[in-house]
Each structure stands twice: as structure tokens, then as C-alpha cells.
Amino acid sequence: MKKRIAILGSTGSIGTQTLDVIEQNPAHFEVEVLTANNNARLLIEQTKKFNPNTIVIANENKYNELVDALNNFPVKIYAGSDAIAQIVEMDNIDIVLTAMVGYSGLLPTINAIKSGKTVALANKETLVVAGEMIQKLAFHHKASIYPVDSEHSAIFQCLVGEGKNKIEKIYLTASGGPFRGKNYDYLKKVTKKNALKHPNWDMGAKITIDSATLMNKGFEAIEARWLFGLNPNQIEVVVHPQSIIHSAVQFEDGSIKAQMGLPDMKLPILYALGFPERFKSNFPRFSFWDYPELTFEKPDMKNFKNLSLALAAMDKCGNMPCIVNAANEVAVEAFLNDKVGFCQMTDIIEQSMQKIDYVKHPDLEQLIKTDQETREFTQSLI
């Protein structure tokens, strides 16, 4: 039977690539639900092409535009963030792919897990903000979480078939971003245009900036901790400029398994949707002759301090990763709107970590409060 997919964030980079994967595999998948934040035009196009049962747009002001454009289509239309959080509970959904950007993906993911859905997770902030809570909910409700990030997908693929064999360490690879090797004086002058040019990956603006500051890799470390049940000292970040080895696992006997391939998000998307099967694809193939040298180096955490801040938050745990995430989201938005400089984002995050009250074992209500307080404080700094 076809797997029925709900895509949260269908108009973003991951969402559109997921629809490409589904279009190439009509015998295996069908679109059941599509949601978008604000891009009504593209959501309308996707609805006409993929004929979902239901669509939701977070921006309620766009509701009438959808209704008018889709008047002759048999689709249910809703609006508002609450509707997105509730739609994942529908019985006619097999997999919820969460591709929403930032903190907004948390509540829909929680509801999907509570409904026992399989979650294909592309929203790393969910585990950054509430990793321990998500882990417990998934266990209690017997919900599977399959990672979509290329690095976590690589680790996941390396662990298949390993059973109870214990992990000694994982290596999260990072391209180093567009400013690898640059010093602080250079980084102070970085513009939005410069930062949005990633050397290897085609991603949305927010994730691209996070990759340029290396915050994205810090978030991935936190995410990996909860996805794979690791201690912080079992996670090591390695800069690998070619982005061919997507991550690796070292086992207790010293053996290392790595997953390789060209930097293309469609492969981990297809793996997450199809698991445990591998479906044939027409994606471009990797050739060793095109990459005669693969290189590795330590991350520069002196000039790219965001990575060290995220790792410090992972060590401290509690609501500290929530603080870092909220401050980072506000800071990145300010940078994209030319309100702060590239290095000022780090200063804002660090001040938020020092100012906002620390809670060692937060519940959901406390995490929501932490997020709100951090955003208000960060805005005041800007």
C-alpha cells in the first residue's frame, strides 16, 4: 500500500524536494496533507498538482486567497498555527514529515508523536528545544522518528543491522561553510549576500546562515544526542569541505562505518520515507574519480563561537538549548533584515544564555515561557 504523507512546510526547501521525491515514486507515496507558513501562491500550485486531502496555511490572512483559487478542487482548507498542530492527528496519515523552520515545528511534532505517527524529522529545532521530552514521548507512544538531516540519516543508516552493538563515538561532518579559514576581522565585515552562498548545499535562508556561523552543526550535535541516546562526549564535529562523507559511527571494537554520497537532500528524504526499504532512484551517482581527495580538519571554534555555545548548551542541558535556539532565531532574522552584523549574532546569543533563568528539568510550559522570554530579551538587545 502507498504511504500517505503529510508535509509540514511544503513550500520550503525540504518540502519542495520531498514533493519531488514523491512525484518520482508514485507507486510508493501519495500526498495527504500540505502546510505552509505564508507562501499561498506555491501552496496553491502544489495542491493543484498533488491533489492532497487537506491543506493548511499558518497565515490566516491568506485563507481567502486559497479558498478563491481552489474553489473547484476537492480539498479541505484550514488556516492558523493551531490548525497545523492539530492536522497531524488525522487517521489518514502514515508519515508526518516536519520541514517547518525553527521553533514552530515543536507542537505539531509533539502532536504527531502522541498520535503514534511515524515522524520524518527535518526540523532539528524540535530536538534542540525539547529533546529529552520528545525522546520520552516517542517511547511512551511507540512512535518512530526517522531523521531527514543528511548527517543524522547517515548515522541512522550506519546503525541499521548493528542491533545492540554499542556506539563508542559518532563523527558529525560539516562543510565548514562559506567562510572556512577566515578570521574574526574578516567575519565582522560579512554581508547577508556573502553568507547566503553555501559551497555545497541548497537550503533555505535561515539554515544557510546557521551553516555559515556553524550554529547548525551545534544544533545537529544536540539533535544527535537525543536521536541516538548519546552522551555529549560521544559526539565529535569534523570539518569535511567536500561534503561527501555525511557522518560516521565508531563502534567499541574501533571499527568505523560511514555513509557517503553526493550532497543531495533527496536521498535522505527518500530513505526516511521508504524505511526500511530502499527504493530505486535516478539521483546523480557519486564517482571516486571526481573526488580523488577527501580532507578533514578540526572546527575553528575560536572564530566560529556559535558552535562552542551550542555545545556548551548541550552539556548543560535543561532549558539552555531552548534559550540558544530562541536567541539564534531572532538574531538570524535580524541579520537577514540588515539590523545586526554577522558577529553580533554570537554576542546576542551569549548574552541571552547569561541573562535568561536556567531550569534544569523544564516541562513544556516552562519551555514555552523560556522561548518567549528569550525572544523578548533578544529583541531588546537588537
Domains defined along the chain, listed by start: 3-147 (3.40.50.720), 153-264+296-316 (no CATH), 317-382 (1.10.1740.10)
Confidence of residue 1 (pLDDT cuts 50, 70, 90): confident
* The residue to which cell 522570554 is assigned: 373
Q: What integer is the mean pLDDT of 154-175? A: 96
Is pLDDT above 80 for 380? yes
pLDDT over threshold 90, residue 20 = yes
Amino acid type, 98: T
The whole-number pLDDT of residue 69 equals: 96
Residue 27 has pLDDT above 70, yes or no: yes
What's the confidence (pLDDT) of residue 201?
62
User: Which residue blocks in 253-304 are alpha helix, DSSP H?
Assistant: 266-274
Give the confidence band of 197 by pLDDT, cuts at 50, 70, 90: confident
**What is each CA distance from 76 to 22, 72, 176, 276, 305, in whole angstroms?**
21, 11, 43, 31, 46
Q: What is the pLDDT of residue 124?
A: 83
Could you tell me what percent of the chain has a pLDDT over 70?
99
| Mean predicted confidence (pLDDT) in 2-23 | 96
Residue 131 has pLDDT above 80, yes or no: yes
CA distance 115 to 109: 10
Write down the pTM of the prediction. 0.92
Which range is least confidently modeled, 6-15, 181-190, 198-207, 335-344?
198-207
Pick from 164, 118, 163: nearest CA to 141: 118
Q: What is the residue-averaged pLDDT of the chain?
A: 95
Q: Is the pLDDT of residue 105 over 90?
A: no
Compute the average pLDDT of residues 134-145.
95
pLDDT tens digits, one per residue of 65-74: 999 999 999 9
Can you tell me the mean pLDDT for 321-350? Answer: 96
Q: Is 181 exposed, middle or buried (0-12, 13-18, 19+ CB in 10 A)?
A: exposed
Interacting residues of 76 by C-beta distance below 8 A, sequence separation 6+: 53, 54, 55
What confidence category does residue 202 fall into, taking pLDDT thresholds of 50, 70 and 90?
Answer: low
Q: How many C-beta atoms surround the C-beta of residue 376 within 10 A?
A: 12
- 340: which DSSP letter? S
| pLDDT exceeds cutoff 90 at 200 | no
Give tens-digit pLDDT for 248-303.
Answer: 999 999 999 999 999 999 999 999 999 999 999 999 999 999 999 999 999 999 99
318 pLDDT above the threshold of 70: yes
Average pLDDT rounded to a whole number, residues 351-356: 97
Residue 20, classed as helix, strand or coil, is: helix
* Cα torsion 372, 375, 381, 382: sign: negative
Residues 6+ positions from 80 with CB-CB distance below 8 Å: 56, 58, 60
For residues 127-154, average pLDDT: 94
